[in-house]
């Protein structure tokens, strides 16, 4: 049988079940700066793979949305890709816009950011 060798100090940091006592750790320096969570990285890679494999379908679904819904979708997605400069509530503003004003806004955004 292999037994874990522990120092007296390590032994004092654990309870009777061998678990670390509250406020103590087997890694007092913590996770190294910049290290990534393996599960998060796996989920991110899986999501990217899914999107890449379904780009045509996602584009068709996006194109089938009403202009107002497309804008809301794009606005929501920017939270994941762009740093937020200021928290602004757009939901109520968009709901109160007329369809014509909304279409004008979309056209201005498309022109300004060269979106087709």
Residue 70 lies in a domain: yes
Q: Within the chain, how many helices (H) and strands (E) appear? A: 6, 0
Residue 34 lies in a domain: no
Average pLDDT across each block of 10 residues of the chain; the chain has 116 residues. List them in order: 51 78 75 82 90 93 92 86 63 76 87 78
Rounded distance, CA 55 to CA 50, Å?
A: 9
Residue 31 lies in a domain: no
Residue 3: per-residue pLDDT: 47
Residue 77 lies in a domain: yes
Q: Which two tokens stand for residue 83?
A: 């740093």
108: domain range?
66-116
Query: How many structural domains comprise the chain?
Result: 1
- Residues with Cβ within 8 Å of residue 16, at least 6 apart in sequence: none
Residue 73 lies in a domain: yes
Q: Which two tokens stand for residue 31?
A: 């996770």
Q: Please state the separation of Cα 24 from the chain's center in Å.
A: 31
Chain length of the chain: 116
Residue 10: per-residue pLDDT: 57
Residue 61: per-residue pLDDT: 94
Residue 44 lies in a domain: no
Residue 88: per-residue pLDDT: 57
Q: Is the pTM of this model over 0.85?
A: no
Residue 56: per-residue pLDDT: 94
């Amino acid at each position: 049988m292999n037994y874990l060798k522990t120092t007296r100090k390590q032994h004092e940091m654990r309870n009777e079940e061998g678990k670390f006592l509250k406020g103590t750790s087997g890694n007092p320096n913590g996770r190294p700066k910049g290290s990534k969570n393996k599960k998060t990285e796996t989920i991110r890679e899986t999501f990217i793979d899914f999107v890449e494999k379904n780009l045509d379908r996602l584009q068709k679904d996006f194109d089938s949305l009403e202009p107002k819904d497309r804008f809301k979708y794009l606005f929501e997605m920017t939270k994941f890709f762009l740093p937020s400069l200021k928290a602004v509530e757009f939901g109520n503003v968009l709901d109160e816009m007329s369809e014509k004003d909304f279409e004008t806004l979309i056209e201005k955004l498309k022109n300004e950011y060269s979106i087709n």
